[in-house]
Amino acid sequence: MEKIISKEALSEFLKDGMTLMIGGFLANGTPESLIDFLIEKNVKDLVIICNDTGFPDKGIGRLVVNRQVKKVITSHIGTNSETGRQMNAGEIEVQLIPQGTLVEKIRAAGSGLGGFLTPTGIGTMVEEGKEKILVDGKTYLLELPIKADLALLKGSKVDEKGNIWYNKSTRNFNPVMATAADLVVVEAEEIVKAGEIDPSNVVTPGIFVDYIVKGRG
């Protein structure tokens, strides 16, 4: 199975209103070339699951600025004033989730778990509408899985089988998002032959990756 494709071949998978996970943390480890392509194709009404909405000119923020986003499910929007402005104007829906809970919800979906109990958010607005469960005298929130139609990742080195290695802090949400979407596309900074990444150093096994696109670098 050939996984390396051109960006253009992704067109058939893009649909207005779809739910995306996009890797990165304040645009570090975010697949900018794939975002370029979303902008070029101008897919609309996207629901985006992401750590943060980046900056107006960098990362996921560019999709917000271009008004392609209906809703973001995220932990932080403070670095992109446009997200806040659209939220206050009622133009975008923002669902804020504590970062550790967000990443764990994605992991639960990818790992076949029905949910998990976290102490985070107890006694705050975050607990509203959630089931509380007492374990060993301590109260936890039951948090549920969250998944996506399509995950867009950024890998530093990707082999032709889709195995991914991430350099330094670019890893962040990318590996967990690889497990929790129906279709997974990775933007590769560098594409290498199978075996060039030491199998003991692979972070995301290639079985999670459907397609590989060479990034603009």
Strand, helix or coil at 104? helix
Region for 24 from its dihedrals, namely left if φ exceeds 0, alpha if ψ lies in -120 to 50, beta otherwise: left
Residues 16-35 that bind other proteins (CB under 8 A): 25-29
Partner from other proteins, a copy of itself, none contacting 135, C-beta within 5 to 8 A by type: a copy of itself
Q: 170, 160, 157, 161: which is closest to 201 by C-alpha?
A: 157
Determine phi and psi for 157, rounding to 5 degrees: -130, 130
| Rounded distance between C-alpha atoms, residue 105 and residue 16, angstroms | 24
- Binding residue (CB under 8 A) for other proteins from 31, 61, 155, 206: 206
Please identify, among the stretches 12-20, 35-43, 61-69, 76-84, the one whose residues bind other proteins according to the rule CB under 8 A.
76-84
- What's the sign of the alpha-carbon dihedral 52, 180, 104, 175? negative
| Rounded distance between C-alpha atoms, residue 83 and residue 54, angstroms | 10
Are 52 and 75 a contacting pair, CB within 8 Å?
yes
Element (H, E) at 62: helix 61-65
| Residues forming beta bridges with residue 76, ordered by sequence position | 52
Are 132 and 139 a contacting pair, CB within 8 Å?
yes
- Binding residue (CB under 8 A) for a copy of itself from 4, 5, 117, 126: 117
Residues 105-144 that bind other proteins (CB under 8 A): 107, 109-113, 118-126
Partner from a copy of itself, other proteins, none contacting 125, C-beta within 5 to 8 A by type: other proteins
Least Å distance, CB 17 to a copy of itself, is 21
Each residue 166-195 as x (binds a copy of itself by CB under 8 A) or -, in order, gives: xxx--x------------------------
Each residue 95-114 as x (binds a copy of itself by CB under 8 A) or -, in order, gives: ---------x---x--xxxx
| Rounded distance between C-alpha atoms, residue 60 and residue 64, angstroms | 7
- Binding residue (CB under 8 A) for a copy of itself from 37, 55, 140, 208: 140
Least Å distance, CB 92 to a copy of itself, is 26
Q: Which amino acid is at 199?
A: P
Q: Which parts of this chain interact with other proteins (CB under 8 A)?
A: 1, 25-29, 51-52, 55, 74-79, 84, 87, 94, 96, 98-101, 103-104, 107, 109-113, 118-126, 156, 159-161, 163, 166-176, 179, 194-195, 199-200, 202-203, 205-208
Which parts of this chain interact with a copy of itself (CB under 8 A)?
A: 104, 108, 111-119, 133, 135-136, 138, 140, 142, 144, 165-168, 171, 198-201
